[in-house]
Amino acid sequence: MIITRPGDQEGAAGNRRSKMTGTAFPYVTMPATDGVVINTVNFTPGAHTYWHEHERGQILQVLAGRGLVQSEGGPVEVVRAGDTVWCPPGERHWHGASPESYMVHTAISLGATSWADPVDDSDYHDPEAREEQ
């Protein structure tokens, strides 16, 4: 058993390998343990990750605000506090805050993360973003 206390966190520099557009503040909730990393990320409006994928998948738990997520080839989806997103192993995707809102999420990353290119503005600002009511 490993217990990580708030004072043990690495702070805003918690995930130096993350690739982001805009300003985001990642905090390590649980350092790499058995191939699992848990980060809580505070995204400012418009901030989002680059395209990336995870060896064994990723779980995103949206804690506050309004965000956007997209899997390669799929529509941009709107997410809000209380939503949980599952990104299967090897699925290329991105996630972050919407242009007009901050977003806070906890990201549970399973296995290695492979970072790719920045998200094109035309993808991020997709006027067809789907929103569940």
The answer as to whether 91 is a domain residue is yes
Range of the domain at 87: 24-121
For the chain, percent of residues with pLDDT exceeding 90: 65
- Least confident range from 52-56, 84-88, 97-101, 129-133: namely 129-133
* DSSP run (H or E) holding 107: strand 103-110
The answer as to whether 126 is a domain residue is no
The answer as to whether 54 is a domain residue is yes
The answer as to whether 15 is a domain residue is no
**Residue 125 Cα to chain centre, angstroms:** 17
Q: What is the pLDDT of residue 5?
A: 63
Structure tokens at 68: 């956007």
Q: What is the pLDDT of residue 10?
A: 53
Tally of domains in the chain: 1
- Distance, CA of 107 to CA of 133 (rounded, Å): 24
The answer to whether the beta carbons of residues 81 and 60 sit under 8 Å apart is: no
Q: What are the E-state strand segments in the chain?
A: 20-21, 24-33, 36-43, 48-49, 52-54, 58-71, 77-80, 84-87, 93-97, 103-110, 113-115
Query: How do beta strands 24-33 and 36-43 pair?
Result: antiparallel
What CATH code is carried by the domain that includes residue 43? Answer: 2.60.120.10
The answer as to whether 103 is a domain residue is yes
Q: What is the pLDDT of residue 90?
A: 97
The answer as to whether 64 is a domain residue is yes
pLDDT digits (tens, 9 = 90+) for 15-39: 556 788 999 888 888 878 899 989 8
pLDDT digits (tens, 9 = 90+) for 109-133: 999 999 999 999 888 887 677 776 5
Q: What is the pLDDT of residue 14?
A: 45
Structure tokens at 29: 């909730």
Q: What is the mean pLDDT of residues 52-73?
A: 96
